[in-house]
Chains A and B, each alone.
Chain A
Protein backbone atom coordinates (compact mmCIF):
# COMPACT_ATOMS: atom_id res chain seq x y z
CA UNK A 1 0.00 0.00 0.00
CA UNK A 2 1.41 3.37 -1.03
CA UNK A 3 1.79 5.70 1.91
CA UNK A 4 3.61 8.48 0.04
CA UNK A 5 2.92 10.52 -3.07
CA UNK A 6 5.70 12.04 -5.16
CA UNK A 7 5.79 13.76 -8.56
CA UNK A 8 7.03 11.32 -11.18
CA UNK A 9 9.73 13.61 -12.55
CA UNK A 10 11.51 16.92 -12.01
CA UNK A 11 14.29 18.92 -13.64
CA UNK A 12 16.82 21.12 -11.89
CA UNK A 13 19.59 23.35 -13.23
CA UNK A 14 23.09 22.40 -12.20
CA UNK A 15 24.25 24.44 -9.20
CA UNK A 16 20.74 25.32 -8.12
CA UNK A 17 18.84 23.86 -5.18
CA UNK A 18 16.67 20.84 -5.96
CA UNK A 19 13.50 20.69 -3.85
CA UNK A 20 11.76 17.33 -3.98
CA UNK A 21 8.30 17.19 -2.38
CA UNK A 22 6.56 14.25 -0.76
CA UNK A 23 3.05 13.91 0.60
CA UNK A 24 2.40 11.45 3.43
CA UNK A 25 -0.98 12.57 4.76
CA UNK A 26 -1.71 9.27 6.56
CA UNK A 27 1.58 9.15 8.45
CA UNK A 28 1.30 7.81 12.01
CA UNK A 29 2.89 9.33 15.07
CA UNK A 30 5.60 6.67 15.29
CA UNK A 31 6.52 6.67 11.61
CA UNK A 32 9.71 8.21 10.32
CA UNK A 33 10.23 9.82 6.91
CA UNK A 34 13.18 8.45 4.95
CA UNK A 35 14.74 9.44 1.66
CA UNK A 36 16.80 7.19 -0.58
CA UNK A 37 18.00 7.63 -4.12
CA UNK A 38 18.83 5.16 -6.85
CA UNK A 39 21.22 5.84 -9.66
CA UNK A 40 20.77 3.65 -12.71
CA UNK A 41 21.97 0.06 -12.26
CA UNK A 42 22.91 0.59 -8.62
CA UNK A 43 21.22 -0.26 -5.35
CA UNK A 44 19.38 2.50 -3.46
CA UNK A 45 21.49 4.86 -1.38
CA UNK A 46 20.36 6.22 1.98
CA UNK A 47 20.19 10.03 2.09
CA UNK A 48 18.49 11.22 5.26
CA UNK A 49 15.62 10.53 7.66
CA UNK A 50 13.57 12.40 10.27
CA UNK A 51 10.62 12.15 12.60
CA UNK A 52 9.32 15.68 13.13
CA UNK A 53 12.30 18.03 13.31
CA UNK A 54 14.11 19.30 10.27
CA UNK A 55 17.34 17.42 9.60
CA UNK A 56 20.54 18.23 7.73
CA UNK A 57 23.55 16.17 6.82
CA UNK A 58 26.37 16.38 4.31
CA UNK A 59 24.13 15.26 1.48
CA UNK A 60 20.84 17.07 1.97
CA UNK A 61 18.29 18.76 4.20
CA UNK A 62 14.90 17.39 5.15
CA UNK A 63 12.08 19.79 5.95
CA UNK A 64 9.01 18.22 7.58
CA UNK A 65 5.83 20.27 7.97
CA UNK A 66 4.48 20.82 11.46
CA UNK A 67 1.51 18.51 10.84
CA UNK A 68 3.94 15.94 9.35
CA UNK A 69 1.70 15.39 6.37
CA UNK A 70 4.37 16.40 3.89
CA UNK A 71 8.10 16.89 3.59
CA UNK A 72 10.70 18.28 1.19
CA UNK A 73 14.14 16.96 0.43
CA UNK A 74 16.56 19.73 -0.48
CA UNK A 75 19.79 19.17 -2.38
CA UNK A 76 21.39 22.59 -1.90
CA UNK A 77 23.64 22.67 -4.95
CA UNK A 78 22.62 20.02 -7.44
CA UNK A 79 25.30 18.43 -9.60
CA UNK A 80 24.98 16.17 -12.62
CA UNK A 81 25.79 13.21 -10.35
CA UNK A 82 22.59 13.89 -8.42
CA UNK A 83 20.53 12.71 -11.39
CA UNK A 84 18.68 9.72 -9.96
CA UNK A 85 15.31 8.42 -8.79
CA UNK A 86 14.51 9.73 -5.31
CA UNK A 87 12.26 7.71 -3.02
CA UNK A 88 10.34 9.07 -0.05
CA UNK A 89 9.33 6.36 2.42
CA UNK A 90 7.49 6.32 5.71
CA UNK A 91 8.12 3.54 8.15
CA UNK A 92 7.64 2.82 11.82
CA UNK A 93 10.61 2.22 14.06
CA UNK A 94 11.86 -1.31 14.58
CA UNK A 95 9.46 -3.56 16.39
CA UNK A 96 6.31 -1.92 15.12
CA UNK A 97 6.25 -3.34 11.61
CA UNK A 98 8.93 -4.02 9.08
CA UNK A 99 7.18 -3.64 5.78
CA UNK A 100 7.60 -0.48 3.82
CA UNK A 101 6.94 0.64 0.32
CA UNK A 102 9.36 2.44 -1.99
CA UNK A 103 6.88 3.39 -4.66
CA UNK A 104 8.05 4.71 -8.01
CA UNK A 105 9.74 7.84 -6.67
CA UNK A 106 10.70 11.07 -8.43
CA UNK A 107 13.09 10.93 -11.33
CA UNK A 108 15.32 13.99 -10.93
CA UNK A 109 17.29 15.19 -13.94
CA UNK A 110 19.98 17.77 -13.30
CA UNK A 111 20.50 19.84 -16.41
CA UNK A 112 23.89 21.40 -17.27
Chain B
Protein backbone atom coordinates (compact mmCIF):
# COMPACT_ATOMS: atom_id res chain seq x y z
CA UNK B 1 0.00 0.00 0.00
CA UNK B 2 0.96 3.67 -0.25
CA UNK B 3 3.38 4.94 2.34
CA UNK B 4 3.96 8.42 3.69
CA UNK B 5 4.51 10.84 0.84
CA UNK B 6 6.40 14.11 1.12
CA UNK B 7 6.79 16.90 -1.37
CA UNK B 8 8.86 18.39 -2.74
CA UNK B 9 11.71 15.92 -2.38
CA UNK B 10 14.21 18.75 -2.75
CA UNK B 11 13.83 22.50 -2.24
CA UNK B 12 16.44 25.18 -2.80
CA UNK B 13 15.55 28.72 -1.84
CA UNK B 14 17.14 32.02 -0.94
CA UNK B 15 17.59 33.21 2.60
CA UNK B 16 14.61 35.22 3.77
CA UNK B 17 12.04 33.43 1.62
CA UNK B 18 9.14 31.43 3.03
CA UNK B 19 8.84 27.71 2.26
CA UNK B 20 6.02 25.24 2.62
CA UNK B 21 6.57 21.51 2.93
CA UNK B 22 3.84 18.94 2.46
CA UNK B 23 3.18 15.56 4.03
CA UNK B 24 0.54 13.02 2.99
CA UNK B 25 0.26 10.42 5.74
CA UNK B 26 -0.86 6.85 5.37
CA UNK B 27 -4.65 6.72 5.06
CA UNK B 28 -6.29 6.12 8.42
CA UNK B 29 -3.29 7.15 10.50
CA UNK B 30 -4.45 9.55 13.17
CA UNK B 31 -1.02 10.64 14.39
CA UNK B 32 1.45 12.71 12.38
CA UNK B 33 4.94 13.89 13.29
CA UNK B 34 7.45 16.30 11.82
CA UNK B 35 11.19 15.97 12.43
CA UNK B 36 14.29 17.79 11.27
CA UNK B 37 17.58 16.08 10.51
CA UNK B 38 20.69 18.14 9.98
CA UNK B 39 23.59 16.66 8.06
CA UNK B 40 25.21 13.87 10.06
CA UNK B 41 22.86 14.35 13.00
CA UNK B 42 20.01 12.41 14.54
CA UNK B 43 16.36 13.34 14.19
CA UNK B 44 15.05 16.38 16.03
CA UNK B 45 11.36 16.32 16.98
CA UNK B 46 9.41 19.38 15.80
CA UNK B 47 5.66 18.87 16.19
CA UNK B 48 3.04 16.16 16.70
CA UNK B 49 -0.62 16.00 15.67
CA UNK B 50 -3.06 13.46 17.11
CA UNK B 51 -6.59 13.47 15.75
CA UNK B 52 -8.47 16.61 16.74
CA UNK B 53 -6.38 17.29 19.83
CA UNK B 54 -4.25 20.39 20.12
CA UNK B 55 -0.86 19.70 18.53
CA UNK B 56 2.29 19.30 20.59
CA UNK B 57 4.41 22.18 19.29
CA UNK B 58 7.10 21.95 21.93
CA UNK B 59 9.84 21.00 19.45
CA UNK B 60 9.43 23.95 17.10
CA UNK B 61 12.73 25.88 17.24
CA UNK B 62 11.31 29.38 16.72
CA UNK B 63 8.15 31.27 15.85
CA UNK B 64 9.25 31.21 12.20
CA UNK B 65 8.14 27.58 12.16
CA UNK B 66 4.49 26.56 12.05
CA UNK B 67 2.51 23.54 10.96
CA UNK B 68 -1.07 22.72 10.17
CA UNK B 69 -3.02 19.59 9.59
CA UNK B 70 -6.43 19.25 7.98
CA UNK B 71 -8.36 16.67 9.95
CA UNK B 72 -6.50 13.39 9.72
CA UNK B 73 -5.00 14.03 6.32
CA UNK B 74 -2.45 16.33 4.77
CA UNK B 75 -0.07 18.41 6.87
CA UNK B 76 2.03 21.38 5.87
CA UNK B 77 5.12 22.68 7.63
CA UNK B 78 5.84 26.33 6.95
CA UNK B 79 9.11 28.09 7.59
CA UNK B 80 9.01 31.87 7.31
CA UNK B 81 11.99 34.12 6.61
CA UNK B 82 14.29 31.14 6.14
CA UNK B 83 17.80 31.20 7.52
CA UNK B 84 20.82 29.16 6.47
CA UNK B 85 20.62 27.13 9.68
CA UNK B 86 17.22 25.88 8.51
CA UNK B 87 18.99 23.77 5.88
CA UNK B 88 18.20 20.16 6.71
CA UNK B 89 16.09 17.18 5.73
CA UNK B 90 12.54 17.54 7.05
CA UNK B 91 10.92 14.19 7.75
CA UNK B 92 7.27 13.38 8.30
CA UNK B 93 5.94 10.23 9.96
CA UNK B 94 2.47 8.88 10.68
CA UNK B 95 1.14 6.15 12.91
CA UNK B 96 -2.04 4.42 13.99
CA UNK B 97 -2.31 5.81 17.50
CA UNK B 98 -5.15 3.88 19.00
CA UNK B 99 -4.31 4.21 22.68
CA UNK B 100 -1.21 2.07 22.71
CA UNK B 101 2.03 2.18 20.85
CA UNK B 102 2.10 1.85 17.11
CA UNK B 103 5.29 2.17 15.02
CA UNK B 104 5.86 5.33 13.04
CA UNK B 105 6.14 5.12 9.29
CA UNK B 106 8.40 7.71 7.72
CA UNK B 107 8.48 9.41 4.38
CA UNK B 108 11.80 9.97 2.61
CA UNK B 109 11.83 13.64 3.57
CA UNK B 110 12.25 17.01 1.92
CA UNK B 111 15.85 18.16 1.56
CA UNK B 112 15.81 21.91 2.15
CA UNK B 113 18.79 24.02 1.16
CA UNK B 114 18.93 27.71 2.01
CA UNK B 115 21.35 29.73 -0.08
Tell yes or no: B109 within 8 A of A by CB: yes
Q: Mark A69-112, 1 if CB is under 8 A from B, else 0.
A: 00000000000000000010001011100111111110000000
CA–CA, A44 and B33, complex, Å: 13
B1-50 residues at the A interface, CB under 8 angstroms: 4, 31, 35, 40-45, 48, 50
Q: Is the CB of A100 within 8 A of B103?
A: no
Q: Is the CB of B106 within 8 A of A32?
A: no
Which of chain A's residues have a CB closer than 8 A to the CB of B41?
Answer: 104
Indicate the member of B31, B35, B43 with the most A CB atoms within 10 Å. Answer: B43
Are A49 and B103 interface neighbours, CB within 8 A? yes
Give the tally of cross-chain contacts (CB within 8 A).
55
Query: Which residues of chain A are near B72, meaning CB under 8 Å?
Result: none
Task: Flag if B108 contacts A41 (CB, 8 Å).
Answer: yes
User: Contact between A102 and B104 (Cβ–Cβ < 8 Å)?
Assistant: no
In the complex, B93 has a CB within 8 A of chain A: yes
Would you call A29 an interface residue if the criterion is a C-beta within 8 Å of the partner chain's C-beta atoms? no
B contact residues around A93 at 8 Å (CB): 100-101
B4, B45, B97: the one contacting A100 at CB < 8 Å is: B45
Q: Which of A32, A87, A98 contacts B42 (CB 8 A)?
A: A87
B59–A99 contact, CB under 8 A? yes
**Would you call A103 and B104 a contact (CB within 8 A)?**
no
Selected from A44, A46, A98, A100, the residue in CB contact (under 8 A) with B91 is A44
Contact across chains for A43 and B42 when beta carbons are under 8 A apart: no
Contacts of A44 in B (CB 8 A): 43, 91, 93, 104, 106
Q: Are B93 and A43 in contact (CB under 8 A)?
A: yes
Chain B residues with CB below 8 A from A105, complex form: 42
Residues of B at the A interface (CB closer than 8 Å) are 4, 31, 35, 40-45, 48, 50, 56, 58-59, 91, 93, 97, 99-101, 103-109
Could you list 8 A-B pairs, sorted by A, with CB under 8 Å? A43-B91, A43-B108, A49-B101, A94-B50, A94-B101, A101-B42, A102-B42, A102-B43
